[in-house]
Structure 1
Amino acid sequence: MHTAAAIPTDPVALTADLIRCPSVTPEEGGALTLLQAVLEPAGFACRRVDRNGTANLFARWGEKRHPRSFGFNGHTDVVPVGDRAAWSVDPFGATQKEGLLYGRGATDMKSGVAAFAAAAIDFVRRTPPDGAVILAITGDEEGPARDGTVALLDWMAQNDEAMSACIVGEPTCPDFLGQMIKIGRRGSLTARFTATGRQGHVAYPHLARNPLPAMMRLLDRLAGHALDRGSDHFDASTLAITTVDTGNPATNVIPAECRATVNIRFNDHHSGATLTQWLRKMASDAEEDGVRIDLRTSLSGESFLTPPGPLSDLVARAVERETGHRPELSTTGGTSDARFIKDHCPVVEFGLVGKSMHQIDEHVEIAQIHQLKSIYAAALADYFA
């Protein structure tokens, strides 16, 4: 039934209600329960897809497995508030003042979830499309991310559910709304080195095997190595040394062990496997008599790219129509759940300005939440036109 006279869904009120849910990873905090209560009256079939204590929500309006099934992805979990006394407002109070809405998750990313949920509700009520609208919302993006969007995608595969295109509503704009769409992300690989020698007295170094020189030599070579010069859509890959530790408080003891960790953010010149192979060779080359260097790696995600095309064009048009800015297509920043969705369907990311995310007094411009809803609504309208 055509319901053009329906009262528009207020994305600011919904953002505020979500902020009041203390959904610090891995707690659901009532956020997904709230969204389900909002979506079901609009005709969305909702299913909680909880796995290993992590809460997730799948919601679909329209026909299952329709060839035109437009999806949105986001998360309601938030990082801890830190020093609560340092906040000028209640982190979960959703305080509004001087055109800003404050609270943990205001930027990252309860405003984005509220904006696409409000846009989807109003769209299907006013102009029911020939197709399906899907919302895949997780409570495990800020945490290990093993049982969040991955669990939703696993459940979708098992239950013959699918999206044909997807927008992830993460904050993507560095300075102003409409500045940037993310069409890919760098990969992230963490490498943990352990150099093992033999403990001894500093006055008799010939009786010990100090692991520190070998580790320092390895780290210096890693830090001084240029991985690449970038590619068509990616900046140059980077390697950062994040910690070095011996656990040795004594000045007269040569330690038996030294540990160090590096993180590599890499572009499409590399893969987790090729980088691991390179790191293993570098570690082997730095070893010396009596000192062994072991390596353990963990891969958060490979680099990926959604080539510029129909989906990025559609979102860019919606952004430019609502903001007057033609967004840059970028692959900068950290990782996101788009790294999982890219194996399911074409995916891009677009959301608010991310300056205050994870900070004390996290906040968002109220007017921009309304704009973001309009952008998502315009993308839906164009997709189903």
Structure 2
Amino acid sequence: MTDPVALTADLIRCPSVTPAEGGALVLLERLLSEAGFACTRVDRGETANLYARWGAQGAAKSFGFNGHTDVVPVGDLAAWSADPFGAEIRDGVMYGRGATDMKSGVAAFAAAAIDFVRDTPPDGAVILAITGDEEGDAQDGTLALLDWMAEQGEQMSVCLVGEPTCPEVMGEMMKIGRRGSMTTYFTIRGVQGHVAYPHRAVNPVHATAALMHRLSGHVLDTGTDHFDASTLAVTTIDCGNPATNVIPAECRATVNIRFNDAHSPDSLQRWLRSEADQLATQTGTTIDLRFSVSGDSFVTPPGALSDLVAAAVTAETGVTPALSTSGGTSDARFMKNHCPVVEFGLVGKTMHKVDECVPVAEIEQLKAIYTRILSGYFA
């Protein structure tokens, strides 16, 4: 049997901080090729990606897994109690960067896929799409894999993303969708002047503060059938002014909106432009806006796929997972344009933290869940 714990350790020992490949995809390509998967490196720009398929291309029924081997930086090395790339096990817990997010998830679904196709070869295809650019800007990762798949005629019928999804207890939550995310960058320009003569200046800081107060106090919605209420957060206000007796000419601010399916990026942009235009007229400033959309909101309606995953989780953990759309963005926002997608993975309490870690028993449990999902899908 393919040991997901040993594979997790091997992957953690690969220093694959975005965008470095670090040897992680080389390791997985070798392992999957030896198991009979047709493997293709789908690198784009500085990003390494791997596509692996067992079974015939164009199979009528195919189950896909998606995940990433890149990790965030270590941070303060002195704060770690273990080597971040050492995969040390203490008291049944493995420590290392990526232990939770998400080298353990990749190891679990790779091990499950290898053993499943060997022991019970399915009538269909098992596909693994693994990227090295989920923690970065994500433009050359899963998107590159999907572009390549479209060119080559490769197709997943359904997909499971192995990101951590459980807040506290293994099995308690799966994701059937995600909120959208949009960042807006404001540049507010006034007229520089002496603070003793404010009537000769137009203060962009005051205008910025008023605009941010107006936006942050607005209720976007109260939630929808599958989503909590949308949120807007002001993340920075900065004019870079070192002088205490000068009204600056310019101020900048940034807000991030996490939005549900009551909104679209276009509708939110129209609202923000309207608010900015009103404030500019009131204050005599000019306001420029720039938008960056990292993902639209989406939901995979509860049905056969979510039922299959939930049943496997309950069978292995005794816990019935809640169907959630909470949390940040993931590469499921890209996969949803290709096929129905859900997410299920480990408890995510330590992801991105110092001393990131995972109980080894939960890695084994996750492999068992993924194996049961594959068995149920191809039954």
- Once residues 67 and 145 of structure 1 are traced to their aligned partners in structure 2, the CA distance between those partners, rounded to angstroms, is 29
> 1:4 is matched with which residue?
none
The equivalent position to 1:194 in structure 2, one of 180, 187, 198, is 187
> 1:3 is matched with which residue?
none
**CA offset at residue 302 of structure 1?**
0.4
- Once residues 63 and 284 of structure 2 are traced to their aligned partners in structure 1, the CA distance between those partners, rounded to angstroms, is 59
1:212 maps to amino acid: V
2:84 maps to amino acid: P
> Is 2:324 aligned against 1:330?
yes
**CA offset at residue 268 of structure 1?**
0.3
> 1:263 is matched with which residue?
256
> 1:165 is matched with which residue?
158
> Is 2:169 aligned against 1:176?
yes
> 2:202 is matched with which residue?
209
- Once residues 329 and 206 of structure 1 are traced to their aligned partners in structure 2, the CA distance between those partners, rounded to angstroms, is 56
**CA offset at residue 53 of structure 1?**
1.4
SS at match of 2:102: helix
> 2:30 is matched with which residue?
37
> 2:269 is matched with which residue?
276
118-127 or 193-202: bigger deviation = 193-202
- Once residues 32 and 133 of structure 1 are traced to their aligned partners in structure 2, the CA distance between those partners, rounded to angstroms, is 18
SS at match of 2:292: strand
Asked if structure 1 preserves the Cα contact closer than 8 Å seen for 2:162 and 2:344, the reply is: yes
- Once residues 106 and 67 of structure 1 are traced to their aligned partners in structure 2, the CA distance between those partners, rounded to angstroms, is 35
> Is 2:85 aligned against 1:103?
no
Deviations 1:119-150 (A, max 9, x none): 00000000000000000000000000000000
**CA offset at residue 197 of structure 1?**
0.7
**CA offset at residue 289 of structure 1?**
5.1
> Is 2:361 aligned against 1:355?
no
> Is 2:92 aligned against 1:93?
no
Deviations 1:77-108 (A, max 9, x none): 00000011110110000000101000000000
> 1:374 is matched with which residue?
368
**CA offset at residue 284 of structure 1?**
0.6
The equivalent position to 2:295 in structure 1, one of 298, 301, 304, is 301
1:248 maps to amino acid: N
1:107 maps to amino acid: T
SS at match of 2:327: coil
> 1:315 is matched with which residue?
309
SS at match of 1:107: coil
Identity %, equivalent residues:
72
- Once residues 40 and 220 of structure 1 are traced to their aligned partners in structure 2, the CA distance between those partners, rounded to angstroms, is 56
Matches within 5 A, 1:131-146: 131-146=124-139
**CA offset at residue 216 of structure 1?**
1.2
SS at match of 1:24: coil
- Once residues 287 and 208 of structure 2 are traced to their aligned partners in structure 1, the CA distance between those partners, rounded to angstroms, is 8
1:310 maps to amino acid: A
- Once residues 216 and 13 of structure 1 are traced to their aligned partners in structure 2, the CA distance between those partners, rounded to angstroms, is 53
> 1:285 is matched with which residue?
278
2:303 maps to amino acid: G
SS at match of 2:11: helix
Deviations 1:60-87 (A, max 9, x none): 0001011111000000000000011110
Deviations 1:304-348 (A, max 9, x none): 000000000000010000000110000000000000000100000
Gaps of 5+ in 1: 1-7
> 2:147 is matched with which residue?
154
The equivalent position to 2:239 in structure 1, one of 236, 243, 246, is 246
Gaps of 5+ in 2: none
- Once residues 206 and 333 of structure 1 are traced to their aligned partners in structure 2, the CA distance between those partners, rounded to angstroms, is 46
Deviations 1:265-303 (A, max 9, x none): 000000001000000000011113531111111100100
2:287 maps to amino acid: I
214-223 or 29-38: bigger deviation = 214-223
SS at match of 2:358: strand
SS at match of 1:262: strand
2:80 maps to amino acid: W
**CA offset at residue 215 of structure 1?**
1.2
**CA offset at residue 230 of structure 1?**
0.1
Question: How many residues in Structure 1 have an aligned counterpart in Structure 2?
Answer: 378
Q: TM-score, normalised by structure 1?
A: 0.98
The equivalent position to 2:338 in structure 1, one of 335, 344, 357, is 344
> Is 2:9 aligned against 1:16?
yes
SS at match of 1:106: coil
Asked if structure 1 preserves the Cα contact closer than 8 Å seen for 2:195 and 2:247, the reply is: yes
- Once residues 97 and 205 of structure 1 are traced to their aligned partners in structure 2, the CA distance between those partners, rounded to angstroms, is 63
Deviations 1:190-249 (A, max 9, x none): 011111011111111122111122111111111110000000000000000000001001
1:340 maps to amino acid: F
- Once residues 126 and 109 of structure 1 are traced to their aligned partners in structure 2, the CA distance between those partners, rounded to angstroms, is 26
2:262 maps to amino acid: H
Asked if structure 1 preserves the Cα contact closer than 8 Å seen for 2:207 and 2:283, the reply is: no
> Is 2:115 aligned against 1:125?
no
- Once residues 290 and 201 of structure 1 are traced to their aligned partners in structure 2, the CA distance between those partners, rounded to angstroms, is 17
2:140 maps to amino acid: D
- Once residues 114 and 280 of structure 1 are traced to their aligned partners in structure 2, the CA distance between those partners, rounded to angstroms, is 45
